[in-house]
Amino acid sequence: MALSLYRKYRPQTFDDVVGQEHIEQTLKNAVVTKSVSSAYLFCGPRGTGKTTTARILAKALLCEQAPTDNPDGTCSRCVEISEGVHPDVYELDAASRTGVENVREEIIGRVQFAPTRGTFKIYIIDEVHMLSTAAFNALLKTLEEPPSHVVFVLCTTDPHKVPPTIISRCQRFDFHRLSEKQIIQRLQEICDIEGFTAESAALDLIAQRSQGGMRDAINSLEQVAVFGGGKVSFAAAENMLGEVGDNQLFAIAALMADRDIVGCFEWLATFSQSGTDIAQFVRDLTIHIRNIYVASMVEKSTALPEILDTDTDKVELYCDQAREFGSPDRLAHILLVLGDLTTELRSAANARLSMEIALTRIARPQSDLTLEALAVRLEALEQGIIVPPVALQQSVQQQSPKNPEYSTASIEEPRVSVEASASSRMTTSEVAQTKDDVMPTTAGSASNKDNTASDPENAANVQQLWVRLEREVKARRRVIATLLGGSRAHINTVTGGLLIELPTSAGFAKTSLERLENQEFLREMVKQVFGKPLSLSFILGPPSLTSNTRLEAVSQNTTGNTDNSGILTDDESSSDDCGYGGDVSSGSNAEVFQIEDEESGGIETSIEDILANSFGAAITIEEYQPPRNTL
Ligand SMILES: [Zn+2]
C-alpha cells in the first residue's frame, strides 16, 4: 500500500465528509453566496475532519471552477492543494517549532501580499492553541484588519486555550465525534473497495477504540488489514489494538454482578499477563458498565439501540446483564468507583493493586464507606440479601478509665474484633437486644452508672440509632436537623459517649449545635432515642482510626464540659493504635466539645424494633460494619 488508506480515502468534497453536515452546508452556502468569512475556528476532537474540511474550503475557493460548492478535486489547483504544494494555501502546524516560526514569518511578513494565482490566500493553522503569545498577537493584529484576499482557518482540539480575543473574531464551528455506526459504515465501504474481508466484530472493535475519530479508525483498519494480508479478523484487531473484547467485558461484569471477589481477582491475574494496559481496560469497562446502566434505566425503550449506539443483539446482552446487577443504583456506584480508579491510575505506581482495590469496593460495598456504597448495602438489606462481611483485620481497642466495670472486662478481653459474631455482640449489648430478650434493661441496674454507648460491637447500631434520632429531630426542630446534615455518629472511645462527625465544612453548624439551648435539646433527644443519657461530642471531619488523633487535645475549646475527669492524660493514655485516644501531638485540627449528662435512663427500644419500624418487616442483623476501615 503505497498511499496510506487515510490519505487515499480522505474526503475530497464537502459531501464526502462524514458526520459534520451542519458545517459543510454552511460553508457551501458561504462559498456560493460569496460571503466567506475572513477567519474560521474549527474546534473538535482529533480525526473528525477539521483540516480535511479546511482543505475542501480552499479548493472551493481556488479550484478552476471556483467559486464552487463542489470542487472537482481533479484540476491542477485542486491536486496541488491535496498534495500540499499550492502556493496560496499555507498549512502550518502550530504544535511544531517550525510551525510557530512560520506562522510569525508568514503572518507578519507576507500576509499583505496578493495571492500568486487565485483570488485568495488561505492559511490553515493546525493546533492553533499551541501558538506562542507573540504569534497570537501577530495573528490578532491581522484578524482585526484582515486583507480581503485572506482566509484563516484555525483548527484546534482545545478551544479553551485559544485567547477569547481571537475566538471573537472567528466564525466558530464545532466538529462532532463520529458515532460508531458512522465509522463502521465508512470502514465497510473502504473494505469493499479494497477487497478486504472483514469480520463485523473486528470493525465494531476498531470503531469502538477510535473514540469517534475517523482518522484513527482508518489507520487501525489499515494496520489490521496489513497484518492479516487483507483479512480483517477480530482476533487480529484485538491483538493489534491491545484491546479487551466484549466477551472479556461481559465476563468481568458478570463476576462483579455475582460479587465474586475471588473470580474477579483470578480474572485480573490472567488479564495482567496479557500485557494489556490497565488504564485502557478501565476506560473500556467504564463504557461497558455505562451501557448496562443505561440499559437498566431505559430497558423498555425501543430507542435503546440508538442510545447505546449498538445493534439489537448486543442490547439484549446489556439488558440481561443489567438484570444480573439488579438495580441502577448499584451500577451508579460502580461507575463512581471506576471514575475514582481512572483518576488514581494517572499517578498510581501499581495499577494492578489499584484495580484490585476498586474491584473489592465494587464486589463488596461494605468495604466502601461512600454514601452510594451504603445505599447499595441498604438496598441489599431491604431485599434480604446477605452481603458477606468484609475480612477486615481491623480491631478496635476498647478501654475507658471512666468506666471501671468496662475496664475490668477489658482486661480479660482487651481487644474486641470488629468481626465479633452477631450473637456475642448481642449478648453484651445494651442498645441492641436479641429478639428473645424481650425484657428491657431497666433503670437502676448496674448499667445505670455506665453512661456509655461504647459497647464495642455497637458502632453500626449507634449509627442506625443516630439516623433515627435525626429523623425525630427533623420532626421537631427542622433547623437543628439541617445543622446535623451529613453527620455520622461514632463511639467516643475515650468518654464512652457519642462522637458526632460533621462535614469538614460545617464549622457554622458545629458552633450552632454547641449553643446551650441546642445542646439541651440534643441531649434530651439522645436520651430518648438511645435509651439513656450519653455525652455528646462534635468533630469536624472524620475521626481517624490510624492517626492517633487525640480528641481531648482540642477539648480546650469545650463549652459545655465541666468535667474532664474522663479525659485521658498522657500518663493514663494507653498506647492503643486504633482508638480515638492516643498521641496528643498528632497535630489534628479536629475540634471537639463535650456535653456531659450524669442522668441515666432505661432502654426503650431495641435495634430490631427500629429496623422493623423502618423497613416494615422483622429484620435480623447479620453483620457488623466498622465505622472506618483501612481499605
Ligand atoms: Zn479543481
What band does 46 get if pLDDT is binned at 50, 70 and 90? confident
Comparing 272 with 20, the larger pLDDT belongs to 20
Give the distance (Å) from ligand 1 centre to CA of residue 71.
5
Q: Which residues does residue 499 pair with via DSSP β-bridges, in sequence order? A: 490, 537
Backbone angles phi, psi at 500, to 5 degrees: -100, 120
User: How far apart are alpha carbons 56 and 67 in whole angstroms?
Assistant: 12
CATH number corresponding to 391-434+449-566+579-631: 3.30.300.180
Q: Which residue has the higher pLDDT, 248 or 119?
A: 119
Rounded distance from Cα 74 to ligand 1 centre (Å):
5
Cα 56 to ligand 1 centre (Å): 10
Residue 34 Cα to ligand 1 middle (Å): 17
Render pLDDT for 325-361 as a digit per residue (tens, 0 to 9).
Answer: 888 888 988 999 999 998 888 887 888 888 888 988 8
- Whether the predicted pLDDT of 625 surpasses 70: no
Does the 180-241 domain belong in CATH 1.10.8.60? yes
Helix (H) or strand (E) holding 93: strand 89-93
What is the per-residue pLDDT across 142-199, written as a single tens digit (0 to 9) for each? 888 888 889 999 999 888 888 999 999 999 999 988 888 899 999 999 999 999 999 9
CA 68 / ligand 1 centre spacing (Å): 9
pLDDT tens figures, 223-249:
888 888 889 988 888 877 765 667 778
Q: From the CA of 65, how far away is ligand 1's center (Å)?
A: 6
Mean pLDDT over 574-594 rounds to: 40
For the chain, what percent of residues have pLDDT higher than 90? Answer: 14
How far does residue 54's CA lie from ligand 1's centre (Å)?
15
Q: How far is the CA of 108 from the centre of ligand 1 (A)?
A: 30
Instruction: Provide mean pLDDT across the span 619-630.
Output: 52
Q: How far is the CA of 338 from the centre of ligand 1 (A)?
A: 51
The per-residue pLDDT for 391 is 39
Q: Give residue 59's pLDDT band: very low, low, confident or very high (50, 70, 90).
A: very high
Q: 100 versus 539: which is more confidently predicted?
A: 539
Percentage of the residues of the chain whose pLDDT score is greater than 70: 69
CA 121–ligand 1 middle distance (angstroms): 16
Contact between 28 and 34 (Cβ < 8 Å): no
Q: How confident is the model at residue 369 (pLDDT cuts 50, 70, 90)?
A: low
Q: Using only the alpha carbons of the chain, give its radius of gyration.
A: 34
**Cis peptide upstream of residue 67 (ω within 30 degrees of 0):** yes
CA of 25 to the centre of ligand 1 (A): 19
| Domain extents in the chain | 5-174, 180-241, 281-382, 391-434+449-566+579-631
Nearest to 320 by CA among 355, 291, 284: 291
CATH number for the domain formed by residue range(s) 5-174: 3.40.50.300
Ligand 1 centroid vs 150 CA: distance in angstroms? 19
Confidence band of 485 (pLDDT split at 50, 70, 90) = confident
Phi-psi region of 415 (alpha: psi -120 to 50; beta: other; left: phi over 0): beta
Whether the per-residue pLDDT at 56 is higher than 90: the answer is yes
Is 216's pLDDT higher than 60?
Answer: yes
103 Cβ contact list (under 8 Å, min separation 6): 92, 94, 125, 131, 135, 138, 139
Cα(126)–Cα(130) distance, integer angstroms: 9
**Nearest residue to 621 (alpha-carbon basis) of 433, 472, 492, 417:** 433
Distance 77 CA to ligand 1 centre (A): 6
Say which amino acid occupies 595. I
Cell, residue 256: 462483579
Of the given ranges (83-97, 226-240, 555-569), which has the lowest mean pLDDT? Answer: 555-569
Report how far ligand 1's centroid is from the alpha carbon of 57 (Å). 11
Which grid coordinates belong to 261? 471477589
Higher pLDDT, 454 or 243: 243
Place of cell 433515627: 468
**Average pLDDT of the chain to the nearest whole number:** 73
Q: What is the 15 CA–ligand 1 centroid distance (Å)?
A: 15
Beta bridge partners of 182: none
- DSSP for 48-62 reads SSHHHHHHHHHHHHH
- Determine the residue type at 43: C
C-alpha 27 – ligand 1 centre gap (Å): 17
Q: What is the mean pLDDT of residues 477-491?
A: 81
